[in-house]
Structure 1
């Protein structure tokens, strides 16, 4: 379970990276990078999903 706490924060790092990629493409080329925005939104969703699931598992163990 120690690794799952690390990986849930890795999703936030990926969300920031994909968000940065989308913003830089928009500002430099004027192109909306829908793929990067979708991946950033998915990473944020996965962060909250994993966090909630980890809390459920911790409560189950007690």
Structure 2
């Protein structure tokens, strides 16, 4: 169970990295880099999805 919490927050770290990458590319080239934006949004979605799923499983066990 401890590993799932670590991976939950790893999604946030990856989201921050992808969003930083998109912003830095936009500043340098003035073009939006959609793959980084989409991967950042997906990582944020996965964080909330995994957190909700973990809470459901925790409540089911009790």
Same topology, TM > 0.5: yes
Q: What is the aligned partner in structure 2 of residue 22 from structure 1?
A: 22
TM-score (norm 1): 0.97
Counterparts in 2 of 1:1-62, with a 5 A limit? 1-62=1-62
Q: Which runs of 5+ in 1 are unaligned?
A: none
Any runs of at least 4 consecutive aligned residues in structure 1 with deviations exceeding 6 A, and if so which?
none
Q: Which runs of 5+ in 2 are unaligned?
A: none
Number of residue pairs matched? 62
TM-score (norm 2): 0.97
